[in-house]
Every structure is written in structure tokens, then in C-alpha cells.
Chain A
Amino acid sequence: MRTTVYSMFVVAGLAACHGHDDAKPAPKAGKAKLEHTSQTDLARELDDADRRGTWSDVRYRWQGQDLEWTVTRYRTLCGSEKRCNVAAFPVMRPAQRGWLPGVQFAPGEYAKLDAACGAAERCEITIDGTLSKLDVSGEMPTSVQLSNVKIKSAKQRT
């Protein structure tokens, strides 16, 4: 009896997964480069995925993309090479989404950031890097990780 119950749950679980999150098979060729890769584009797709349940599709298409984003570096949230999150959006009063991308710098780039931003608590920086990890689902919080990040420009803000 217990086996039957388990089996029913497995089937129901598979059906639910298929219905809500249409996982795509691995591509035969390389992944297509997205035309629009701003943080606003990503946010729009994530909002859409929340409505349609297409999280794995968004994850599949965005993970591995090379990006150039202008973001805000706060010293309190990005005070070391090992612990760095940046704000992808300006202050909106209030925030529309909670995630702050985590940043892994290419060698030497954090030092470049630190030198350019000096002691400023807030610094507007343009970076390029790879969206190496996008955790997105209906169950767990959205989390964005950028890797091999290089500093293109940095402007101190007061």
C-alpha cells in the first residue's frame, strides 16, 4: 500500500513539474547569445517566469551569458574580494525585487575597484562578466552570481 502511495506521488510530482516548469533539454549546439542582457531584461523575464512557471527556461537561457551591467557598489556589501554583492537597480522607493548579484572578480579587478572607489560608501560601476549562476524557482529566492568580473569604469557617488 505504501509503495502505491509513493508511486502516485512520483507521478503527480512529475506531472506537476512538467506543467509548471518546462525544463529544456541540453542544446546540441552552443547556447544562443541573448540580444538583450541588461538587468532590467533579466528582471522582466523573472517576473514573467513567476507568472508562467518558466523558471528553468530563464535559467537555461541566461546562465552562461556574458553581460555588461552598470551597478552600484556599496562598501558595506562589497568590502572584500571574497564577499561582494552589488545593487543591480537604483533605489526605487521601495525595491521591487530583493536580489543583489554576488560578484566574483577576475584576478586583480577587486584592487582596481577599490582604488577607483576609494573610501566612498557608494560607487557606480560598469562591469562585464559572466552570469555564472542563476538560482530561480517557485520555491527558493532568486539569486544571481556574476563571475570573472572586470571593472570597465567606476564613478564615486556621494
Chain B
Amino acid sequence: MKNGNTFLYNTGPVDAISSQYLNVTQTYDLWKIDEHTGHRTRLMQDAWVAPWNVGKRSFPNYESVALQAVRSAGTTQSFAGPRDEPFFVDLHVFDLLGVGGAHTTDGVNVMSIVLEVPITDIAAGGARPSSATDKSSVVGIYASASRPQLRILRKSHNSDDYGKMIQVSRLGWPLVNEVLIPLKDKDKYNRSEPRDDVSNFGAYILDPEVPKLLNLVLNAGCAATPAGGRTDIVGLLSPNGTAAADLLRINIAAGQTNAQSHFPNGRALADDVTDTLLTVACNNGSAIGDGVNANDKPFTTTFPYLASPASGNP
């Protein structure tokens, strides 16, 4: 905070991320950690977080300011800040599966972290495999959020955080956490690691609740879960014979193209993952969906690809 003697988030028109009028700023560090060796490399330090899009008076050209938060470190690009919510879905699904094409995420902003890294950085041995059927051609990705173990709220001064960072949330495939894991196990799921998913939650994948609910509430005509369970879903979560886990998978073999990289092989921003997942879950040979088929704003062709966030004062 540059000036604490005002309630204003910005104290004048902001035309640059380094502007003196941008009163409240945030920064972050980006670390690359090799899970196998524990080796840590700091790729970025004190990188700017794009500011909130307060309104047209503060930001005559918001996007030009926000994109100054794009940072590069070698071949890695990074952005942190508010963006238009890229997930398009009828969230009325959580109101007794009341899906009907309501664009519930239109106009919503989300704080986003966007990373672009060379494929070879995540390939085993640093090179793209030549065979698309090889196990090593598939990488799995998930995101998690962690918080300090202990926060002491103080009456007389700022709060203190103590202890190691504790994982409080994770996501791999869209909607696995949300609709495959029942409430009683959701916190436990969020604390655990994908490598243990089969041991811990495998039965929920083999025998999911969604098709039963779709039939019960919407009379959707979904196929009954076969006596042998939904091994087809397990298969989708374990491409090329990899261990099944809630990981977003993508095949990175040489020759793989963007056209081949759509959910569940990767997840392009415009992929209608909700329709794909509902169709897979229902498993009756017909495509079903939530009636929301695209984002309200177009995605961009340049990094960070997510659309500009809605303005507080358009």
C-alpha cells in the first residue's frame, strides 16, 4: 500500500502497473521444485500481480496495464491477476441438478495464475517421446492450494501465521472433486495426493453417484452402472496404462497437435468439459449437456489467453 491515508484503491488514473496512483499492489515469487530431487529454483521474484479492474476512471485502458503483469523467465511465462472466469457451466447443477442453460458464470472474474512452460520442461528426460502410446508420453497435471498451518488472530496488531503449509484444495479433472467425491470425504480429498486416489477414492470412480441422480431428478435415461463398475472412467483417468488418478492428462509425444489436444486429452479453454463429463457419466449413447456451450467472452490468441475481467465501473 503506497498511501494508507485514503480509502481509495487507486489515487489517480493508472496507465502503468508501476504507476504511483496504483495504491494497492501485490507481488509473488515463482519457484520450480523438482519433486524427485527436492531441488528448488526461483524463476521469478517480486513479480507484479495485475490489479483489480476497479473501473474506467481508474483504468482508462485496463488491459494495457494488466498485461504488464506478464513476466518471462527464460522460456517460462507467467501471469497472476484477475481474469474473466473461463469455466462456462450452468451452476444450477448444484441445485438438485437443475441444469437448463443458465449462464451462471458470465460476468464473473476469478483470480488466475497462468503459466506457460516448454513441453520439454515437463517431459521425462527433457525430450518429447516419439511414441504417442508410450506411458511416458502422458503427463498429469493438478493444481493445489495450501495455507499456513496456524493463524493467530491478534487484537492489538496484525495476525501471525505459523507452521508448514497445509494443502486445503486440489483439482485435476474438472468436476471430479465437485461431483464424484461425496461431502463426507471432500476435505479428506482436498488434503490428499493424486497418487493415492485409487486407494482412497477408487470406489467412487468405479461406482459414481451422478448417473443415478441424473435419472432420479431429470429422468435422463442414463445407463445403470454396470455390475462391473465404470471401468471406462478408470480408463480415461489412466491413459496409456498410467496409474489412475485425478490428474488432467495430456499426451505430449512428438507430432501431437493442438487439434488432438482436447478434453480429456488436455483441456483447451473452449472445450465444453461439462457436456463431455455429463455424457460420459450418463453413458447411454446420447450426448447430454448443461445447455451452456461457450464462454461469454472470447479467449485470446496470445498469453495469458484468458479474457479481460469485467470492470467494476464499465
CA separation between A121 and B209, bound complex, in Å?
22
CA separation between A50 and B189, bound complex, in Å?
16
Contact of A93 with B by CB under 8 A: yes
Q: Which residues of B contact A91 (CB under 8 A)?
A: 206-207, 225-229
Min Cβ gap A135→B in Å is 9
Which of B225, B228, B241 makes the CB contact (< 8 A) with A157?
B228
Q: Is the CB of A89 within 8 A of B203?
A: yes
Q: Is the CB of B228 within 8 A of A99?
A: no
CA separation between A39 and B152, bound complex, in Å?
43
Binds A, one of B37-45, B101-109, B118-126, B194-202: B194-202
Q: Is the CB of A76 within 8 A of B227?
A: no
CB proximity to B under 8 Å, residues A45-70:
50
Binds A, one of B68-76, B230-238, B284-292, B294-302: B230-238
Q: Which residues of A contact B225 (CB under 8 A)?
A: 91, 93-94
Question: Helix, strand, loop or mixed for chain A's interface?
Answer: loop
Per-residue A-contact encoding for B236-271, CB less than 8 Å = 1, 0 else: 001001011000000000000000000000000000
Residue of A nearest to B187 (CB): A139
Which of B198, B200, B243 makes the CB contact (< 8 A) with A142?
B200
Contact of B33 with A by CB under 8 A: no
Min Cβ gap A51→B in Å is 11
Interface size grouping (class) on chain A:
35 or more
**Given A87-B203, A98-B202, A100-B202, is A77 in contact with B244 using a C-beta cutoff of 8 Å?**
yes
Q: Is the CB of B196 within 8 A of A121?
A: no
CA separation between A77 and B228, bound complex, in Å?
13
Per-residue B-contact encoding for A119-158, CB less than 8 Å = 1, 0 else: 0011000000000000000011111100000000000011
Min Cβ gap B22→A in Å is 36
Contact of B191 with A by CB under 8 A: yes
Q: Is the CB of A76 within 8 A of B191?
A: no
CA separation between A87 and B198, bound complex, in Å?
10
- A-B pairs under 8 A by CB, number: 103
CA separation between A9 and B152, bound complex, in Å?
11
CB proximity to A under 8 Å, residues B137-156:
150, 152
Which of A9, A94, A139, A141 makes the CB contact (< 8 A) with B207?
A94
Q: Is the CB of B207 within 8 A of A92?
A: yes
Q: Is the CB of B196 within 8 A of A143?
A: yes
CA separation between A83 and B242, bound complex, in Å?
11
Contact of B86 with A by CB under 8 A: no
Q: Which residues of A contact B188 (CB under 8 A)?
A: 139-141
**Given A79-B241, A94-B209, A121-B228, is A74 in contact with B199 using a C-beta cutoff of 8 Å?**
no
CA separation between A132 and B252, bound complex, in Å?
39
If A79-B241, A98-B203 are given as contacts, then 16 extra A-B residue pairs at C-beta distance below 8 Å, sorted by A number, are: A74-B234, A87-B202, A91-B207, A92-B207, A93-B212, A95-B203, A95-B206, A95-B207, A99-B199, A99-B203, A100-B198, A100-B202, A121-B228, A121-B231, A140-B188, A141-B189
**Chain A to chain B: the 7 pairs with minimum beta-carbon distance, closest first:** A141-B200, A100-B202, A95-B207, A98-B201, A94-B209, A95-B203, A141-B188
Hey, which bits of chain A sit against chain B, CB under 8 A? 5, 9, 50, 72, 74, 76-77, 79, 83, 85, 87-95, 97-102, 121-122, 139-144, 157-158
Hey, which bits of chain B sit against chain A, CB under 8 A? 150, 152, 181-182, 184-185, 187-189, 191-192, 196, 198-204, 206-209, 212, 224-229, 231, 234-235, 238, 241, 243-244
A-B contact pairs, 8 of them (CB 8 A): A87-B202, A87-B229, A91-B206, A91-B226, A94-B212, A98-B200, A141-B199, A144-B199
